[in-house]
Structure 1
Amino acid sequence: MRDRNIRVKERIKKYLKHHINMGESYRKLDNDEINIELSKLSNWELDNDRIRKTFEFKDFGDAFAFMTRMAIEVERINHHPEWFNVYNKIKVELTTHDVGGLSMYDFKLAKIMDDFEKVFL
């Protein structure tokens, strides 16, 4: 029981640290801000309260390598995508559920994904 309590406290501490450090980045963006940020990305589409993109790679190995590397970044910034993989394609959707729409964290993660995609081109 003691170990479980320690794990729960650590998860709460990590959650609070993350959300306190986010500050201004952790708010719902307005339409003008969304359009500005979207223009900085490569082939992302706006769909209501989320942005989405389909990445296409040479083969499953490259798609899996991309997802594996992105998993490290996702954990680092503690912002998790919805993603679906079929063979060489990965469909990604980003939104910030806690703010009920798009935040700078969605665009930050989208930019990281765009940058890393270039490794495979």
Structure 2
Amino acid sequence: MEKLSEQDIEKRLLHFPDWDYFDNAIHAEFEFENFKDCFSAMSRIAFECEALNHHPDWSNVYNILSISLSTHDANGVTLKDFQLAEAIEAIVEVEE
């Protein structure tokens, strides 16, 4: 998968208002009602990650989920990252 230019990344981010680009990755932070809802979303996201064979750098503290997406093989952001971001958005939207 080919690394996207910064211009392409910024253009694609127009469709992902919860995401930002910095440190060679796209990042988002989501807040849930409680830990259980956050962990439930993480579990659902994990299945999407496996299906796409693409795994985030993520963490959670209580009800906050922080996600960074970058394609290590390409040393930057690729279409694969945006595919996973789209799946994450669909899951998080349902949880809210």
TM-score (norm 1): 0.76
Percent of aligned pairs with the same amino acid = 38
Name structure 1 gaps, 5 residues minimum.
1-25
The CA RMSD measured in Å over matched residues stands at 0.9
Q: Which has the higher strand share?
A: 2
Does residue 91 (structure 1) correspond to residue 66 (structure 2)? The answer is yes
| 1:61-110 C-alpha deviation (Å, 9 max, x unpaired) | 10010000000000000000000011101100000110111000111111
- How many residues in Structure 1 have an aligned counterpart in Structure 2? 96
Match of 2:51 in 1: 76
Distance in structure 1 (CA, Å) of the matches to 2:44 and 2:55: 13
Corresponding residue of 1:45: 20
Matched residue, 1:33:
8
Q: Which residue does the alignment assign to 2:34?
A: 59
TM-score (norm 2): 0.95
The gaps in structure 2 that reach 5 residues or longer are none
Runs of 4+ in 1 over 4 A off after TM superposition: none
The structure with the largest alpha-carbon Rg is 1
Choose between structure 1 and 2 for higher RCO, CA contacts under 8 A separated by at least 6 residues.
2
